[in-house]
Amino acid sequence: MRKNPVIALALLLVLPFAGLARASQPSPVAPLGPTPEEAKAFAAKVNAELKELWTRQQIAEWIKSTHITDDTERNAAWANEDVMAYTTRAILDSRRFDSLRDRLDPDTARTLYLLRVSQALPAPNDPKKRQELATTAARLEGLYGKGKWCGKDGKKCRDLQQLEEVLAKSRKWDELLDAWAGWQTISVPMRPMYERLVALSNEGAREVGFSDTGELWRAGYDMSPADFEKESDRLWQQVRPLYEQLHCYVRGRLQKVYGKDKVPDGKPIPAHLLGNMWAQEWENIWDLVEPYPGRASLDIDAALRKQKYDPKKMVRLGEAFFVSLGFDPLPATFWERSMLEKPQGREVVCHASAWDPSFSNDLRIKMCIRTTQEDLVTIHHELGHNYYYSQYYQLPALFQQGANDGFHEAIGDAIALSITPKYLQDVKLLGKVSADEQALINVQLKDALERVAFLPFGKLIDQWRWDVFRGKVAPVDYNAAWWKLRRDLQGVEAPVSRSEADFDPGAKYHIPSNVPYTRYFIARILQFQFHRALCKAAGHAGPLHSCSIYGNKDAGAKLKAMLALGASKPWSEALYQMTGERQMDATAILDYFAPLQKWLQEQNQSRQCGW
């Protein structure tokens, strides 16, 4: 993923005294300030220097993520510090061109804007504070990557992947609770470090013209920060009714397993019962909520195992999807440099991510792949990032990113919407799948457990951080504010009492790693909007949920054209390039899940919904 930066203020005008001159020959007037040509040269210089610095930074981050040691953390911190120092200076220097805003060519103006909003972690100009921020950020991510729960007796240590297996497969309340509560312990030491990270990054944000780091993040969407916050609220309200119906149905089914004493009517669902460490996606509890057992069997996990899929073969399947649309195969270096499995004998960050560390089509992914449907979908998602990189890598460095950060996340997810039963049959993962109404509801519900269930969680992560950065949530209230948002938006609550001795936000990777999260919420909106447009380009005439663009070169050409823009144009223009629309629109989700929403409303008539 590519990051973004800052410009602002007015410049000092210098008008030297020209002295006396002969009336017939006026003295030449000295330039009044920087020129558009100087701004253009500055933009080119920044792009070239940032590419070199970002390459060093990304390679250091790759090494740290695939081999966590004190030395690799230190090396990454040094590289991050260099980027912070350069970017802060460049942003401050760019302010001298602010008065030229209406005279700049579009590419130069766009470059200066992207520079202004480029830092997810803005650093103070003070070298000691900048070094402290870089070190703190590296330590936070390292604590997460090395996190383990060793049980109350300290004898059996399990990492996140092992604990997630418990959450996904166990149906015993106490086992689930132990795994869930155990993982939350890894973030307790992060709390004072995170508080310091907030203070230092806010100081850096103020130095480059923002009130706080959250305002800087919200400024990266080609609209005012306040307008973007309203926009995210508008999109949530469009999809909230569908989520509430899904929540009501799932809670009713969980009551049959655990009893109403543990899962009461009209209350949030205990967080450890939803099959995922953060209750952000619920597909792992499919066996508990399946409406029509055996209809449209979608046991892709079993099919992958039966056909002896290993991590490399799973990635090859994802690659084949993009090739079928007209994209090139992945470069040979992808297979040489990627981390597809968890290596033995060293600590790594297993959280899946896609990379082009040298900004030159050096594609790779980092992932501890399991032979599961979830990881198959994740592979398609990560390859979406890779193929986005591959289409814009020849652009200037600051244009080498998504039109907005939600675009990048949405591409792979839009492709994953084409992993339909028909597609799975075409690639011979599944045999014949029933196509009656009961089968359709089964398919749509399983899909909604991932895509729809995620929506409020995708919104609340940054809602919490925006409030933290702007001081609305004080450090003494970190955990209380976290759980209030989770109850209010997600309808989920902690299964055991929590206090400010805990730091449960830190148990989610993106918070200690300081990765903005609204991109994932926007991506879940955009992926359906993209899918609807690509299906139209492919000539699909049936219901939206039945469309797969697999093998369609017309849809592929439409996708390629948008990807090639990178961030060179405002996101509304990139959106228009693919969809013919200039506003993000969640109605495509409602179109896609229309059969399921109608069915859920019927099922929930006798239930007490809401929380």
Among residues 488, 503, 420, which one has the least CA distance to residue 456? 488
Q: Over 70: is that where the pLDDT of 27 sits? A: no
d(CA 206, CA 149): 38
Instruction: Tell me the average pLDDT across 563-574.
Output: 96
Q: Over 60: is that where the pLDDT of 13 sits? A: no
pLDDT, residue 32, reads 67
pLDDT band for 297, please (50, 70, 90 cuts): low
User: In 99-148, which residue ranges form alpha helices assigned H by DSSP?
Assistant: 106-116, 127-145
pLDDT, residue 71, reads 94
Torsion of CA 252, 253, 258, 261, to 10 degrees: 10
List pLDDT tens digits, range 503-517: 999 999 999 999 999
pLDDT, residue 18, reads 33
Copy the structure tokens of residue 224. 């005012």
User: In 259-395, which residue ranges form alpha helices assigned H by DSSP?
Assistant: 286-289, 300-306, 311-324, 332-337, 373-392
Which CB contacts under 8 angstroms, 24+ apart, belong to 165-174?
167/272, 167/275, 167/276, 167/277, 167/284, 168/275, 168/276, 168/284, 169/284, 171/257, 171/288, 173/258, 173/262, 173/273
CA distances from 525 to 207, 407, 531 (A): 34, 10, 10
pLDDT band for 432, please (50, 70, 90 cuts): confident
Q: How does the average pLDDT of the chain come out, rounded?
A: 91
Percent of the chain with pLDDT over 70: 94
Q: Over 90: is that where the pLDDT of 81 sits? A: no
pLDDT band for 215, please (50, 70, 90 cuts): very high
- Residue 84, sorted as left (phi over 0), alpha (psi -120 to 50) or beta, turns out to be alpha
List pLDDT tens digits, range 366-406: 999 999 988 998 999 999 999 999 999 999 999 999 999 99
Q: Under 8 Å CB-to-CB from 23, ≥6 apart: which residues?
A: none
pLDDT, residue 9, reads 29
More confident position, 46 or 8: 46
Q: Under 8 Å CB-to-CB from 291, ≥6 apart: which residues?
A: 438, 441, 442, 445, 599, 603
Q: Over 50: is that where the pLDDT of 20 sits? A: no
pLDDT, residue 430, reads 81
Angle formed at CA 30 by CA 27 and CA 36, multiple of 5 degrees: 140
Instruction: Tell me the average pLDDT across 425-430.
Output: 88
Considering 409-423, 437-451, 525-539, the range whose residues carry the highest mean pLDDT is 525-539
pLDDT band for 570, please (50, 70, 90 cuts): very high
Instruction: Tell me the torsion sign for CA atoms 225, 227, 231, 233.
Output: positive
pLDDT band for 299, please (50, 70, 90 cuts): confident
pLDDT band for 434, please (50, 70, 90 cuts): low
Our measurement of the distance from residue 12's CA atom to the centroid of its chain's CA atoms, rounded to an integer in Å, reads 40
d(CA 397, CA 375): 30
pLDDT band for 424, please (50, 70, 90 cuts): confident
Instruction: Tell me the average pLDDT across 495-500.
Output: 97
List pLDDT tens digits, range 587-597: 999 999 999 99
Percent of the chain with pLDDT over 90: 82
Instruction: Tell me the average pLDDT across 276-295.
Output: 93
Of the given ranges (294-303, 332-341, 518-527), which has the lowest mean pLDDT?
294-303
Angle of helix 571-579 versus helix 518-537 axis, rounded to 10: 30
Instruction: Tell me the average pLDDT across 598-607.
Output: 96
pLDDT, residue 31, reads 56
pLDDT, residue 296, reads 64
- Residue 414, sorted as left (phi over 0), alpha (psi -120 to 50) or beta, turns out to be alpha
Q: What is the H or E stretch that residue 364 is in?
A: strand 364-366
pLDDT, residue 28, reads 52
Say whether 465 sits in a helix, a strand or coil: helix
pLDDT, residue 351, reads 87
Cβ-in-10-Å burial (0-12, 13-18, 19+) of 340 comes to: middle
pLDDT, residue 84, reads 86
The β-bridge relationship of strands 364-366 and 353-355 is: antiparallel
pLDDT band for 19, please (50, 70, 90 cuts): very low
Among residues 503, 454, 458, which one has the least CA distance to residue 483? 503
CA distances from 20 to 4, 23, 24, 27, 52 (A): 49, 9, 12, 8, 50
pLDDT, residue 409, reads 86
Copy the structure tokens of residue 254. 């969980």
pLDDT, residue 295, reads 75
Instruction: Tell me the average pLDDT across 171-185.
Output: 96
pLDDT, residue 151, reads 87
Instruction: Tell me the average pLDDT across 491-505.
Output: 97
Task: State which amino acid sits at residue 571.
Answer: W
Copy the structure tokens of residue 106. 């579009």
pTM for this one? 0.84
Backbone angles phi, psi at 269, to 5 degrees: -85, 135
- Using an 8 Å Cβ cutoff, are 535 and 549 in contact? yes
More confident position, 486 or 161: 486
Backbone angles phi, psi at 568, to 5 degrees: -70, -15
Of the given ranges (29-43, 124-138, 306-320), which has the lowest mean pLDDT?
29-43
